[in-house]
Structure 1
Amino acid sequence: MKYRSLLGAAAGAALLLAAPAVPATADASESVIVDSVGRLAADGTVTLSGTYRCTGAAGPVFVSSNLSQDRPSVRHGIGGSRAVCDGAEHRWVNSGLTTAGSLHAGAARVEATLMELHPQGGLPLPRFHATRTQEVVLTEG
Structure 2
Amino acid sequence: MYAKTATGLAALAVLLGAGTATSAPGYEITVDSRAVIASDHTVTTSGTYRCTGSTELSPVYVTASVRQNNTSMSGESQKAVCDGELHTWQLETGAFGGIHLKAGSATVQSHLVQIKPRSGLIPIETNFLATTEQQVELVPQS
- For structure 1, which runs of at least 5 residues remain unmatched after alignment? 1-23
From 30, 35, 39, give the equivalent of 2:36.
39
- RMSD of the TM alignment (CA)? 2.0
Q: What per-residue deviation string (whole Å, max 9, x for no partner) do you get for residues 4-60 of structure 1?
A: xxxxxxxxxxxxxxxxxxxx9731x31110011000001011100000011122411
- Identical aligned pairs, as a percentage? 37
Alpha-carbon distance, 1:105 to partner: 0.8
Partner residue in 1 for 2:129: 129
Matches of 1:26 and 1:39 in 2, distance apart?
A: 29
Q: Comparing both structures, which one devotes a greater share of its residues to strand?
A: 1
- For structure 2, which runs of at least 5 residues remain unmatched after alignment? 1-21
Matches of 2:45 and 2:100 in 1, distance apart?
A: 16
Question: In the alignment, is the contact (CA less than 8 A) between 1:67 and 1:78 conserved in 2?
Answer: no
After TM superposition, the score normalised by the length of structure 1 is 0.74
1:65 partnered with 2:83: no
After TM superposition, the score normalised by the length of structure 2 is 0.73
Question: In the alignment, is the contact (CA less than 8 A) between 2:24 and 2:130 conserved in 1?
Answer: no
Greater mean alpha carbon deviation, residues 114-123 or residues 102-111: 114-123
Q: What per-residue deviation string (whole Å, max 9, x for no partner) do you get for residues 76-103 of structure 1?
A: 0133111011111111110121146721
Matches of 2:72 and 2:32 in 1, distance apart?
A: 18
Matches of 2:32 and 2:23 in 1, distance apart?
A: 24
Whichever of the two has the greater Rg, that structure is 1
Q: Any runs of at least 4 consecutive aligned residues in structure 1 with deviations exceeding 6 A, and if so which? A: none
Matches of 2:45 and 2:76 in 1, distance apart?
A: 9
> Any residues of structure 2 matched to 1:1-141 within 5 Å, and which?
26-27=24-25, 29-58=26-55, 59-71=58-70, 74-99=71-96, 102-121=100-119, 123-141=123-141
Task: Give the residue type in structure 1 aligned to 2:77.
Answer: G
